[in-house]
Structure 1
């Protein structure tokens, strides 16, 4: 396909666990080579040269070590990218982090499953990313044409929620549909803004500083997410505010603050930041051509194999989405959970750096495969932790154990994420501003998103609970399925009873998911991964038309 002139594009991933990886940016796609002569030539190369040739790097090895100083323009561009990713991370931190914890006090797991649907658009943004790349107003700018309206809408939605938060959160079960729709819209518009920002990063930074795009994304996106998750949960807690003599930070006040920030940055972009013009080519402008490229990639047999791996690889871990909620249900304070997540953040960065280092060489999927086993081990430990969770208040020793467990288990998760991202970077042929890379990352994210609804639904489905009411020295057991929900628990308490769980669906769901995960890992993932990493880089390339 035709390719625009100028610097080669670089794929920029979008994930809360993303870490800086220097993607390979070939200037032209390489056509699959079928003659035997090329294999002979490769054998004549030494190990370093063979590695360079396989990665399609045009510059000699010794030149890679030469680094130019970062210009003032690039530094300003990096700050801008961090701010734009920060704005994107704030609503994601609310929808995926803090709001579900707040709602858990009022909703059942089945109702939380409905709210979890609001996170799906972020995993499906590839479906409309070609439209964002192709349609724009030249007078405003190719990327600003989408960033400005998306941020205005996101700011307006946050302002709307802040003005109606008391009504929405007073009885969330009655307003569940409205809450889900609003946060789905919030995530959808944030995902659209992310598509435009990712594309702008490719031209906003100079060729020498393109590798810093992922770093800006890591800083901005994670800062916004943790501000809305970790920081907000802590300052929203009455116990935390009373302990430190601070006012309680309400959800309404928090949303109003960020809506003002969103409006301010958008106005500055509109009037004070000029976007450089990009040379438009037929490949860039044709929406049909981009979708055709996506379909061509999906028809590659090894891509289909990789997609199958991605869609089911995370089922064994997704059940642990309910683990943190279970701990809060058993008495873990939200501010304590927030502290654990905050301490965990720098270790995620370290894990990402090590994983990127381990993923080099002729077996890039090795750290990703190895990390499966400790993740399953920590899954078993987390289930046992929930089962033997002590009655509050928890001791300092147990809280230290929770922090250590969170850090170590998160480390393995980060190793897996960065390991598979490094593999995507190595094999991707970055067409249309990174369509290949985005496609693979979409299926990775989707594999961790689609099972959430079924997992949360399953917790309530397999739970059996009774309402126990003392009566004249004896006890009466009332079969009350609604004792599973927060409304049912409240009703049972109002008539002088206590909810008694005979069978907790959480343990059934986690056991089934982990059992399937282990069998799928041994029977499919391991042989498929070995086959995929043994393929030459040329096998992943699209043939030039």
Structure 2
């Protein structure tokens, strides 16, 4: 989301009640990381070597059967995955969406960059994913051993925030550190739950429906994010509530509601959902061995190539996260933004479903690659939209334009997210599914996270603001860096002046990011992706020693 919007993003796995999907490759060895690189990586350079590698696989090579209809068991598993990802999306929507919008009225972009650090744990979960994959209680289940306590903690944290939110949000600049720490913890425990769900998803769905794991993730995460961002901002607006006759939804009441939902789903998992025994878990790897396995995976040349692609693929899009904030700054009402996102939501679900179908062929990265170009096009349009944004109130025609722009731009983003998640699901080794998936998704999410702090700081760094104070005989200009923040603007207004932005750093940072993104796409991402998707699945496995 990314894995997730993302975002960035986070395909999943799970086990069916009566069907065990045997690994298509030998089990991960106990002793990995030998000196001979040929024992670590499968070098599939020609057809002869490919046939030889296929003979090393436990299962014989078979022709792909005709597509079967989705079974009732798979449908139930998909619903479960959507619910579990929904619980993850709720805190992410708060930390990455609605709370920054609420704080923008009181904080500068540099201060928002500090709060943005709370999203980093979702991109760094690889650091503790081996523990989640290796330590569990057999009686409870390999994945439930982590999902149940993590959801209890997430619910308790949301309950704590709901009881203290008035104090924290009353003066956010004074409580910025506490706000950042609390939401960092919330995102961290949600990320831990995501590791377990990712591992469960690989065995929960049948092989024929495995490509829909990323679709379940898209539906669940987007739904949770949508409710915590779009729906909450709409019902939190006094104007929207007064117009439609609803009571104003406070952030405290919203958090208490989802705390109860977390508790309810956790109780259901504990007493009514039995996790089937994962046969692949019989070869239980210890924590140390799992970390060694991660290092072995990272030494595969094509994995290293994929990591480089992920770390820089989203730089061209990250700057646009400030676009919505700039529109709010120019007079777009929160309820109008929420309404546009509300209309957009069904198209996100449709995009996720279509991308999953497009990714089932022999070129799974094709939808991900093709979606780059319209995303950059919509990026240019968004910059022009901010520059030409009309003074409020906005006309119905311009609002319709915003809705259309939101729908098409988010559609391309969803296609990319599901496309790369489906690719990760296909190439991950089921034996260490949670760790392998988390390894790949970590770099995907990190590619959209690590530039965020620099982008938000850069907007303020390159912005030159002036506080103009009129006098009887002329005009006095006072250089005021604080004119960049909402607090500085209010102070300038209090002394009888008006803030004037001589140079807006938003345009400098956004154009620089897009220019780098286009060059990197043409020169590196496109040829690298075509090489990666041409590799057989066995090339991504670890060879048995």
TM-score grouping bracket, smaller chain normalisation:
0.7 to 0.9
Residue by residue over 1:337-388, the C-alpha shift from the partner in whole angstroms, topping out at 9 and shown as x without a partner, is 1121122222223333443444455544343333222222211111111011
* In structure 1, C-alpha distance between the alignment counterparts of 2:465 and 2:127, rounded to whole Å: 42
Change (3 A) 1:37 1:299: closer
Change (3 A) 1:539 1:125: same
Corresponding residue for residue 302 of structure 1: 302
- For 1:478, what is the secondary structure of its paired residue? strand
Change (3 A) 1:380 1:107: same
Change (3 A) 1:221 1:415: closer
Change (3 A) 1:459 1:287: same
* In structure 2, C-alpha distance between the alignment counterparts of 1:305 and 1:132, rounded to whole Å: 26
Corresponding residue for residue 28 of structure 1: 24
How many pairs align?
518
Residue 142 (str. 1) matches residue 142 (str. 2) = yes
* In structure 2, C-alpha distance between the alignment counterparts of 1:130 and 1:22, rounded to whole Å: 16
More off after superposition, 467-476 vs 314-323: 467-476
Residue by residue over 1:98-126, the C-alpha shift from the partner in whole angstroms, topping out at 9 and shown as x without a partner, is 11111111111101111111111111112
Corresponding residue for residue 340 of structure 2: 340
TM-score normalised by structure 2 residue count: 0.86
Residue 467 (str. 1) matches residue 463 (str. 2) = no
Which of these residues, 64, 75, 85, is aligned with residue 66 of structure 2? 64
More off after superposition, 225-234 vs 256-265: 256-265
Aligned ranges 1:488-499 → 2 under 5 Å: 488-499=488-499
Say if 2:211 and 2:360, in contact at 8 Å, map to a contact too.
no
Corresponding residue for residue 6 of structure 1: none
More off after superposition, 339-348 vs 280-289: 280-289
More off after superposition, 216-225 vs 449-458: 216-225
Say if 1:17 and 1:414, in contact at 8 Å, map to a contact too.
no
* In structure 2, C-alpha distance between the alignment counterparts of 1:34 and 1:201, rounded to whole Å: 29
Unaligned runs of 5+ in 2: 15-20, 27-40
Say if 1:355 and 1:419, in contact at 8 Å, map to a contact too.
yes
- For 1:249, what is the secondary structure of its paired residue? coil
More off after superposition, 300-309 vs 277-286: 277-286
Say if 1:70 and 1:209, in contact at 8 Å, map to a contact too.
no
Residue by residue over 1:294-333, the C-alpha shift from the partner in whole angstroms, topping out at 9 and shown as x without a partner, is 1111111121112111111111111101001000110111
Say if 2:13 and 2:204, in contact at 8 Å, map to a contact too.
no
Corresponding residue for residue 9 of structure 1: none
- For 2:456, what is the secondary structure of its paired residue? helix
- For 1:331, what is the secondary structure of its paired residue? coil
* In structure 2, C-alpha distance between the alignment counterparts of 1:372 and 1:68, rounded to whole Å: 31
* In structure 1, C-alpha distance between the alignment counterparts of 2:204 and 2:313, rounded to whole Å: 36
* In structure 1, C-alpha distance between the alignment counterparts of 2:428 and 2:228, rounded to whole Å: 33
- How big is the shift at 1:488? 1.1
* In structure 1, C-alpha distance between the alignment counterparts of 2:344 and 2:530, rounded to whole Å: 31
Residue 117 (str. 1) matches residue 117 (str. 2) = yes
Residue 38 (str. 1) matches residue 48 (str. 2) = yes
Say if 2:134 and 2:290, in contact at 8 Å, map to a contact too.
no
- For 1:523, what is the secondary structure of its paired residue? helix
- How big is the shift at 1:418? 2.8
TM-score normalised by structure 1 residue count: 0.86
Change (3 A) 1:20 1:520: closer
Say if 1:283 and 1:432, in contact at 8 Å, map to a contact too.
no
Corresponding residue for residue 478 of structure 1: 478
Corresponding residue for residue 521 of structure 2: 521
Say if 1:19 and 1:353, in contact at 8 Å, map to a contact too.
no
More off after superposition, 84-93 vs 131-140: 131-140
- For 1:344, what is the secondary structure of its paired residue? helix
Corresponding residue for residue 105 of structure 1: 105
- For 1:319, what is the secondary structure of its paired residue? helix
More off after superposition, 472-481 vs 244-253: 472-481
Residue 128 (str. 1) matches residue 119 (str. 2) = no
Unaligned runs of 5+ in 1: 1-12, 43-49
Residue 156 (str. 1) matches residue 166 (str. 2) = no
Corresponding residue for residue 31 of structure 2: none
Say if 2:234 and 2:338, in contact at 8 Å, map to a contact too.
yes
Say if 1:21 and 1:211, in contact at 8 Å, map to a contact too.
no
Residue by residue over 1:271-308, the C-alpha shift from the partner in whole angstroms, topping out at 9 and shown as x without a partner, is 45444444575643411222112111111112111211
* In structure 2, C-alpha distance between the alignment counterparts of 1:34 and 1:197, rounded to whole Å: 32
Residue by residue over 1:115-149, the C-alpha shift from the partner in whole angstroms, topping out at 9 and shown as x without a partner, is 11111111111221111122223444333332222
Residue 256 (str. 1) matches residue 266 (str. 2) = no
* In structure 2, C-alpha distance between the alignment counterparts of 1:57 and 1:351, rounded to whole Å: 35
Residue 544 (str. 1) matches residue 544 (str. 2) = yes
Corresponding residue for residue 314 of structure 1: 314
Residue by residue over 1:469-525, the C-alpha shift from the partner in whole angstroms, topping out at 9 and shown as x without a partner, is 111152211111111112211111111111110111101111111121122223222
Corresponding residue for residue 512 of structure 2: 512
Q: Please, what is the CA RMSD of the aligned residues?
A: 3.1
Aligned ranges 1:26-425 → 2 under 5 Å: 27-29=23-25, 32=42, 38=48, 60-61=63-64, 63-67=65-69, 69-71=71-73, 78-202=78-202, 213-279=213-279, 281=281, 283-359=283-359, 361-425=361-425
- How big is the shift at 1:188? 0.5
- For 2:335, what is the secondary structure of its paired residue? helix
- How big is the shift at 1:399? 0.6
Say if 1:26 and 1:58, in contact at 8 Å, map to a contact too.
no
Change (3 A) 1:36 1:433: closer
More off after superposition, 453-462 vs 251-260: 251-260
Change (3 A) 1:172 1:454: same
Residue by residue over 1:224-258, the C-alpha shift from the partner in whole angstroms, topping out at 9 and shown as x without a partner, is 22111111010000110010111110111111111
Say if 2:68 and 2:208, in contact at 8 Å, map to a contact too.
no
* In structure 2, C-alpha distance between the alignment counterparts of 1:529 and 1:277, rounded to whole Å: 36
